[in-house]
Amino acid sequence: MCVLAIQTSWEKLQNDGEIPKNKLMPAIAPVRAKQGKLLRAEPVAQQMVQDKVRFRGVFTDMEREWATWMPTDPDSPGQIDASCILVYGLIPEANQGAIVHAPLPQAPQPGGQSGGRPGGAASMYGRRIGK
């Protein structure tokens, strides 16, 4: 429903001349919340407390929602949801191939091979010196 509303608004703005006809509409990636707001927001809030996630700019409404929302509140502030989805979209999932450091060197293996790679441990970092 939201995608339809955004597409309709974009077309209207183009027809009214406020957006050029050759300008593409921004991509929309619909998401479904599969758990409660508290379960979605708690890991993001912890990352903010540990200063691992920062938002650059002035987001007073979003900051107010983060500072005042309580899990028992009947309302469901959308900026908390939007910021959680943004953070989850930007951080790599655990064990999904995120590289946080260079590969660690490995001890040479019998037969001159290191981990099944020809050239030994030095081959991933550059050329070998000597035999």
Contact indicator for 80, 48 with CB cutoff of 8 Å: no
2-22 average pLDDT score: 91
41-56 average pLDDT score: 83
112-121 average pLDDT score: 48
At residue 109, the pLDDT reads 62
At residue 6, the pLDDT reads 87
The torsion defined by the Cα of 107, 110, 111 and 113, in degrees rounded to 10, comes to -30
Cβ atoms < 10 Å from Cβ of 103: 10
* Mean residue pLDDT across the chain: 74
Q: Which of 63, 62, 64, 89 is nearest to 78 (CA)?
A: 62
